[in-house]
Amino acid sequence: MKTDDYRDYFKILGVHKNANLNEIKSAFRRLARKFHPDVNPGKKKAEEKFKEINEAYEVLSDPQKKRKYEQFGQFWNQSSGIGSGIDDLKVDFGSYSNFDDFVNDLLGRFVGKRGMEGFTQSYNSSFSEFRKPANLDVQIIVKITFSEAFWGTQRTLFVNEEPVEVRIPRGVVNGNRLRVKGKGNLQPGTGRRGHILIKLEVEKHKVWQLDGDQLKAELPVSYDELLLGSIVTAMTPDGETQLTIPARTLPGSSLRLQDKGWPINNGRGDLIFTLALRFPSCLSSKEIDLFNQLRELSISDPRKDWIHSARL
């Protein structure tokens, strides 16, 4: 990178002209992290920006070079030939195993050993989490509705401000886990990237319950539908359907619809309705009169066999 043309090094690092060495170092660390080639693989502009940042830091971090730069402006490097080191700076990013090694080597050229020790301590403290994430994998809990679990859905997750589209297949259950490869945290200096690990939480439904691969629900029925038999309308995940209740069906009995339940592999489980007797909340006076007549006409005793069996 040539330095015969004037560059505003203060502007390049984003610091004011009275910035002290600590402020200059802090600005360099921030920009080096942003434009480092490992974080921007294949981006030529980022690499050029990175070299420009290095050039500005070499001058502003050296008191003598900084003084000449402030005194001579665009001719600062001609006053004593200073600056040739920047022209000769060749950065072989592939020769460094990680970002730390690169920065330590680079700043070792710019500052003395004593100054380098101070910077290394500050750098390691500031970038420990960025450089060495505790876990490259990102663990996320995603809550979905019962309906979304049945039919499948899609979610947009944001990992390090990057949107990631995740497809949740149909038939998932509470506690299922999904993995999105290569979309987790990025480790600078190595190019390694973790995965997104998703744990699904399925909300409970007011009517439906899942038991293994069987979808279950209570179906409210009246006493006359159980006693006399009836054809009733029931709701299934696929829409309304007609169910036949045989005469004299007992409360708590089950009706099974094969292959109408929860999605499993390429098929469906069974759908099971448990018949739940619901008494009316109120009766008309005429209904009460008819029940009294029915009781007088009834010849059955529901407890006859029970009393005989209950004797000790």
Q: In this predicted model, which residue has the larger pLDDT, 34 or 38?
A: 34
Contact 162, 70 (CB under 8 A): no
Statement: residue 152 has pLDDT above 70: yes
Shared domain for 198 and 217, answered yes or no, is: no
Q: Please compute the mean of the pLDDT values over residues 144-161 and round it to a whole number.
A: 90
pLDDT digits (tens, 9 = 90+) for 76-135: 666 444 344 444 444 555 555 555 555 555 555 554 444 444 544 444 444 444 444 447
Task: Estimate the share of the chain in helix, then strand, then coil, as percent rounded to the nearest 5.
Answer: 40, 25, 35
Cα of first residue to Cα of last residue in the chain, in angstroms, is: 105
Domain that residue 148 falls in: 138-202
Residue 38's CB is within 10 A of a number of other CB atoms, namely 16
Give me the sign of the Cα torsion angle 149, 151, 156, 160: positive
pLDDT of 132: 46
With cut-offs at 50, 70 and 90, classify the pLDDT of residue 253.
very high
Of these ranges, 4-8, 223-227, 291-295, the one predicted with the greatest mean pLDDT is 223-227
Secondary structure in 3-state letters for 7-34: CCHHHHHCCCCCCCHHHHHHHHHHHHHH
Statement: residue 162 has pLDDT above 90: no
Shared domain for 37 and 93, answered yes or no, is: yes
47-70 burial string, b = 16+ CB within 10 Å, else e? Answer: bebbbbbbbbbbbbbbeebbebbe
State the amino acid at position 187 in one-letter form.
Answer: Q
Q: What is the CATH number of the domain that holds 252?
A: 2.60.260.20
Total number of domains in the chain:
3
Instruction: Tell me if 4 is assigned to some domain.
Output: no
pLDDT digits (tens, 9 = 90+) for 257-309: 999 999 998 899 999 999 999 988 888 999 889 989 988 888 888 888 888 88
With cut-offs at 50, 70 and 90, classify the pLDDT of residue 243.
very high
Q: Please compute the mean of the pLDDT values over residues 21-30 and round it to a whole number.
A: 88
Shared domain for 153 and 169, answered yes or no, is: yes
Helix, coil or strand: residue 229:
coil
Q: What is the mean pLDDT of the chain?
A: 81
pLDDT of 217: 95
Q: Which of 131, 159, 182 is the last residue of a domain?
A: 131
Shared domain for 243 and 275, answered yes or no, is: yes
